[in-house]
A = this chain, B = another copy of it.
Amino acid sequence: MTDTVISSQTREVVIGLERPFVMIGERINPTGRKILAAEMAAGNFSRVESDALAQVAAGAHMLDLNAGIPLADEPAILAKAIQLVQSITDVPLSIDSSIVKALEAGLAVYKGKPLVNSVTGEEERLETVLPLVKKYGAAVVAISNDETGISENPDVRFEVAKKIVQRAADHGIHHSDVVVDPLVMPIGAINHAGRQVMHLLQRLKNELKVNTTCGASNISFGLPAREAINATYLTMAIGAGLTSAIMNPMHLEIVRSCMAADVMMGHDPHCERWIKRFREAPPLQASGAPAEAPPGAVRGRREGGHRRRSQSPPA
């Protein structure tokens, strides 16, 4: 089985088929968050800080950091956000940008081995992002679209993923450091989007033997009761082979479903984590808000495949 190791200075997270599912917090992203965007552009990172702590307290094993703000100095803002978040939490990070200079600025300051989010199958992206991933010894999210866009045919998406894995190998990046995003479509628009992605996840698991991630919220775009659709999508996708997701850990229903999927997959021995978290938990709140634990209680927690590092991080 393929293990993908991501780390901060002091903590390792291992993404793998025989590991607990890895939840990557999606909240630190100014896209669609006007106040956060304005604050980050103005150099105010207080919301970045509180969002980081709240997501870790809610159960996130990693955090995705995006600083995509129009007309702002994205490389500088992303680097600053990374340094700040690494100073207050020990979870490993995903460095998220469509701008190569921002990825590079982030990689330059990151302590540990991050996940670079992302590279696509587009020729220009492959040849600019992969050398950076190799240079910094990172892992990378591979998005299965290319110059022709996102194919509705999952087998075409599989071929794009395969091309990225092969090209990464040409750059000296092992397939265990490529985490494929199969791309999930809104099921309200494409009725077979769920079946498509299950099929693709099974092929990625069995044939390419890579780990996988996805933006979990897209599936429910336009539908009511989105959290229930997202939670069900994630559990079914985990059954098909999904090993991580970029998601909102502030929705208790979704976190709980992922933890229940760990129980079902046999990745929570003696149901220990499940019992610990839910033995005395109140029932799900009407608001869907999580029953928060104090951040301190969580920061030191060790869960399943997520173990503290004893060696120093890679350069």
Q: Is residue A232 contacting chain B, with contact meaning CB distance below 8 A?
A: yes
Copies in the complex: 2
- Asked if B261 and A224 make an inter-chain contact with CB atoms under 8 angstroms apart, the answer reads no
Q: Which 9 A-B pairs have the closest CB atoms?
A: A232-B260, A194-B264, A225-B278, A236-B239, A224-B278, A239-B239, A192-B266, A224-B279, A283-B286
- In the complex, the chain B residue whose C-beta lies closest to that of A260 is B232
A233 within 8 A of B: yes
- Complex CA–CA separation, A257 to B283 (angstroms): 17
A167 CA to B260 CA in the complex, in Å? 38
Q: How large is the interface on A (under 10, 10 to 19, 20 to 34, 35 or more residues)?
A: 35 or more
Contact B232 A271 (CB under 8 A): no
Q: Looking across the interface, which residue of chain B has its beta carbon closest to that of A233?
A: B264
Determine if A256 is an interface residue (Cβ-Cβ < 8 Å): yes
Task: Determine if A96 is an interface residue (Cβ-Cβ < 8 Å).
Answer: no
Distance of A257 from chain B, by nearest CB (Å): 6
A275 proximal to B (CB < 8 A): yes
Q: Flag whether A38 is at the interface (Cβ < 8 A).
A: no
Q: Pick the contact of A257: B232, B263, B271, B284 (CB < 8 A).
A: B232
| A240 CB within 8 Å of chain B | yes
Residue interface bits A226-241, CB-to-B below 8 A is 1, else 0: 0011011101101110
Does A263 lie within 8 Å of B198, measured CB to CB?
no
Determine whether the beta carbon of A225 is less than 8 Å from that of B281: yes
A188 in the interface, Cβ–Cβ < 8 Å?
yes
Chain B residues near A256: list those with CB within 8 A: 225, 228
Complex interface: chain B residues within 8 A of A239 (CB): 198, 236, 239-240
* A229, closest chain B residue (CB): B260
Name the distance in Å between A298's Cβ and chain B's nearest Cβ: 18
Residue A302 at the B interface, CB < 8 A? no
Enumerate chain B residues within 8 angstroms of A300, measured Cβ to Cβ: none
A269 within 8 A of B: yes
Report how far A144 CA is from B240 CA in the complex, Å.
25
CB pair A260 B228 closer than 8 Å: yes
A187: which B residues are within 8 A, CB to CB?
263-264, 271
